[in-house]
Amino acid sequence: MRGVFFSVGDVDNTPMPDVEVPVLIVGGSMVGLSTALFLAQHGIESLIVERHDGTAIHPRAGHFHLRTLELLRSVGLEQAVRTTSEERFFPNGGINAVETLAGGEMISYIPDLNDGVAEFSPSRRLFVAQHALEPLLRHRAEELGATLRYATEAMSVDQDDDGVTAGIRDCATGAQRTVRARYLVAADGNRSPIRQRLGIGMRGYGVLSNSATIYFRADCRALLQGSDLGVIYVFNDAVRGFFRFEKSGTSGFLAVNTLGDPTRPGALDVTDGLTTQRAADLVRAAIGVPDMPVDVEDVAHWQATADVAERYQHGRVFLVGDAAHALPPNGGYGGNTGIQDAHNLAWKLAMVIRGTAGDELLASYDAERRPVGELTIEQAYTRYARRVTPELAPEDLPPLVDDFSMEIGYRYHSPAVLPDPGAVQNGAVVGHPRSSGGAPGTRAPHVALRAEGQPASTLDLLGDGVVVLAGPDGQAWCEAARSAGSQLGVPIRAHTVGIDVEDPQRSFGPAYGVCDSGAVVVRPDGFVGWRSRNGTTDPEQALLGALRTLLSTPDRLEMA
C-alpha cells in the first residue's frame, strides 16, 4: 500500500463518497478476514480492501492455540478447520529440537500438543496452514455479509470527528473510488503504512535476524517415520531455525533464522546472497543427508522482529494483528494474537455502532489488548532466544510463562471490567487458567455440562452477545437479565446452570466463584465482566448498574 495520508480535523471539502460502510478494513489476510468475520457475526457490515490478488499462497502461521480454536468454534468454523488440518498435519503433533533430522531428537518441548487440554477447553490445538485457513475465513465472512475487494489499495485516509474517508484504487484498472466509514481497522501488516503515517512508534527488542523461509519438496518419510511432529527445531553449525512438514513427509518448509552460531559475522543475515542452490544446501544441512534431492519451490525473505505499537488506537483508527505487534514465530503467537485482537475489537465496535454502548467502550481495546501484546512479544522473544540464539540471550531474559497461561490465562483490566468489591488488584496480565476462578477480567472457564443428553461446555452457552450465567437457585437473575436487556436495548441471553443445562459434577459454582444463587455477566468476547457471588434482593438493578458501567451506555453517561 502506498501514499497513505492522514489528517485529523475537518474534511469539509471531501467529495461525496462512492461507498458508505460502518467499518473499513485495510488488509485482507488472516487477521483482516477475522475482523470482518467477527463484525459480521455481530451483524455489522464491513468492507475489506487488500492490495494482493487473493488469499495467502504460502503455508505461513500454522500452530493454532486453544483460544483461537474456541473463537472459530463460536462462528461455526472449528470442525471445518479441524478437517482441513487433519488432511495435512498430525492432530496431536509435538514440538522438538534436533541437530539434524537424520540425527534424531535432542530436546522435546511439547511431546503432545493436546496433553492436558481437556481440563480447560472443549477445543483442541492444531496445526493448519494459513493458505488453507484464509479461504474458510473468507467464505464464512462473505456468507455473513462482509464485502472483500482484492487487488485494491488504500491511497489516502482522512479522519474527522464523525468518521473516516478513504480513497481506494483498483490495482488492475487504476479506477479510484471514495469510501466513507465510521471506523477504520488497520490490518496492513508489520510494516503498516497506516501505523507509520499516524506516527505510532514501535518498541521492544527490534529486529532479531534477517530470516528466510524455504518452501521445498524432499522425501523425508524414512526420517520422519513414527515421529508425528508438528514443528522440528534445527540447531547445528550451518542452520538454526525450524521445519514444518506436512504429514506426507515429502513437502514442507524450513524457516532459517541464523547461519549457525549467531555470534559469527553475518550469521544473522540469512537472506544475503541466498540463491535457490544455496537454499537447497541449507535444507540438506538441516536434514543431515548431504546428497538428498531437494526441490526448492520458493523462498520468502522476512525479518524476525519482536516489537509492539505504542498505542493501538488513534481516533477512529484501530491497529490489529501485525500492524500492532511484530513477533518472531516461536510459540506461534503472531496469528493467534491477531485473531484475538480482532475478536476483542469487533464486539465493541458493533455495540457502539448500534448505539447500545458509549464511545468510551472503544478505549478499552487498547487498555486490554496492548498489555497482552507487550507480554506476548516478551514471551516470543524468550522462546526465540532460548531455542535459536542462546549465545545472545541477555542475563535478564524474561522467564517463560507456561503455554496454558499464555493461551487462555490472560487477564483484562479496563473500565469494561468490574472487579469484585474489595478485591485486591495486582494488575497481573496473565495467570494460570486453573487459578482464574471466574474472576472478572478472565476468560469464562470451561465446565463440562450436558445439554439435551449431549456433552456440552459453558463456552457453548456463550456467543455473539451478553450472557448471564446463574447457579441453579439463580432463576431471578435470568428474569432480571431479560428486563435489563430490554431497558438498555442490549439482547441478553440467560441460563441457570444445573436447571437449563445439566451440571453433573456441580462444577459451575466453584469454577466461577459463585454460590448456587450467584451469577456472572459474560461479555460478548467470552470474558467475565462482572459477578455477584450470591443472590441479591434486587437483581435487576444490580444488573442494570453493572451493564451500564461495563458498556459505557449512553443512559449512564446522561445520568452522570
Q: How far is CA 393 from the centre of its chain?
A: 27
The pLDDT score that the predictor gives to residue 196 is 95
- Specify the residue for cell string 472483500: 148
What is the DSSP annotation of 172-232? Answer: TT--EEEEEEEEEEE---TT-HHHHHTT--EEEEEEEEEEEEEEEE---HHHHTTT-EEEE
Walk along the chain (560 residues) and give the pLDDT tens digit of each residue: 333 444 433 344 455 678 999 999 999 999 999 999 999 999 999 999 999 887 655 555 578 999 999 999 999 999 999 999 998 888 888 899 999 999 988 999 989 999 999 999 999 999 998 888 999 999 999 999 999 999 999 999 999 999 999 999 999 999 999 999 999 999 999 999 999 999 999 999 999 999 999 999 999 999 998 888 889 999 999 999 999 998 899 999 999 999 999 999 999 999 999 999 999 999 999 999 999 999 999 999 999 999 999 999 999 999 999 999 999 999 999 999 999 999 999 999 999 999 999 999 999 999 999 999 999 999 999 999 999 999 999 999 999 999 999 999 999 999 999 999 988 888 899 999 999 999 999 999 999 999 988 999 999 999 889 999 999 999 999 999 999 999 999 999 999 999 999 999 999 999 999 999 999 999 999 999 999 999 999 999 999 999 999 999 875 444 43
CB 121 within 8 Å of CB 446: yes
The catalytic site residues sit at: 233
In degrees rounded to 5, what are phi and psi of residue 177?
-140, 165
The pLDDT score that the predictor gives to residue 88 is 87
- Give all domains of the chain, ordered by start, each with its CATH number: 19-90+125-201+311-392 (3.50.50.60), 204-305 (3.30.9.10), 444-559 (3.40.30.120)
The pLDDT score that the predictor gives to residue 58 is 54
The pLDDT score that the predictor gives to residue 63 is 87
Q: How far is CA 10 from the centre of its chain?
A: 34
CB 233 within 8 Å of CB 254: no
The pLDDT score that the predictor gives to residue 207 is 96
DSSP 454: E
The pLDDT score that the predictor gives to residue 205 is 96
Query: Pairing relation of β-strands 176-186 and 317-319?
Result: parallel
Dist. CA 420–CA 467, nearest whole Å: 18
DSSP 430: B
pTM: 0.94
